[in-house]
Amino acid sequence: MFSLQHKTAVITGGGSGIGKAVAELFAVQGASVFILELNAAAAEETVKSILAKGGKAFSRVVNVSDQLQVKDKFAEIAQEAGRIDILVNSAGISHIGKLDSTSSEDFEKIFQVNVKGVYNTMFAAIHQMKQQGGGVILNVASVASTVAVADRFAYSMSKGAVLTMTLSVAKDYIHDNIRCNSISPARIHTSFVDNFLEKNYPGQEKEMFDKLSKTQPIGRMGRPEEVAALALYLCSDEASFATGCDYPLDGGFIKLNN
C-alpha cells in the first residue's frame, strides 16, 4: 500500500521541516522527487539524504513567488521526467503580528510567498497534469486557516487563501482526474520553532517550548514525519476518492480547545 513507484513528485520547501520529511518519505515509497527550494544548500542536503538511502531526488533552486522562474522549472521537470504526478506545496514563511503591527511590506512579503507562491506552482503544474490525464495537488495550510490564532494576522490571511484555493482547484479540475486537498497542521516541531524561541526568548527556550506544546490538547507539538505520513496517504492511489478536503492534523487544537 501507499506505493509511489513510477511517480514524479514536486515538493516546494523540501529543504527543511515538513517539506523535507515529505520528500524523504515519498522517496522511500518509490517516487522520483524534485525539490524546489530557495535555499540551495538545504535542498542539496535533502537530496544527499535521499540518495544515501537509495532513493531518487533532484533539486531546483527557485523563488516560488516568481512565476516565470516557476514555469521554467516545471517545464524542465516535465521534459526530464515525462510527467508530474504529484505537487506538494510546503514552502512558506511565518509572521507574528496583529493588524495594526503588520506593515504593508510584511503583508506583501507573506502574500508573495504563501499565496502567490502556491498559485504559481499550481498554475505551472495544472496544464501538465491535464495533458497527462491526471495528478494530485496537496497544499500545506494551517489551523489558522479556519480558527483564530492570536498575533497571526498576515499568516492567517495567507493560509486561509491556501485553503480556499485548494477547494477551488478541486472543484474546477475534478473531471480532469486531478485531486486537490490540503493539510492543516497545528504547531509542528521544526527548526523554525527552535530558531524562533532562541531569538525571542533567550534563556527561556524550554519554558516557552513547553508552553507552546501545551496549546495542543494532546500535550505536545506534532512531528514533521507525522504530517508526511498523512501527505503520503493523500497523494497515493489509496486516496483516489479524496478531493476537495482539508485535513486538520492538530492534536485536538481546533475541536478540543474550549
Could you list the active site residues? 155
Name the one residue in this structure whose C-alpha cell is 527552535.
194
Q: Which 3 state secondary structure label does DSSP give 8?
A: strand
CA terminus-to-terminus distance, the chain? 37
On the 0-12 / 13-18 / 19+ scale of CB atoms within 10 A, 155 is buried
C-alpha cell at 189: 516541531
DSSP string, 151-196: TBHHHHHHHHHHHHHHHHHHHHTGGGTEEEEEEEE--B--HHHHHH
218-223 CB contacts, 8 Å cutoff, 24+ apart: 218/251, 218/252, 219/251, 220/251, 221/186, 221/187, 221/188, 221/189, 221/193, 221/251, 222/185, 222/186, 222/187, 222/188, 222/189, 222/249, 222/250, 222/251, 223/21, 223/188, 223/189
DSSP for residue 64: T
Residue 221 corresponds to which amino acid? Answer: M
Phi, psi torsion values for 249, nearest 5 degrees: -130, 85
Can you tell me the distance from the alpha carbon of 58 to that of 185, in angstroms, rounded to the nearest whole number? 26
Can you tell me the distance from the alpha carbon of 114 to that of 117, in angstroms, rounded to the nearest whole number? 6
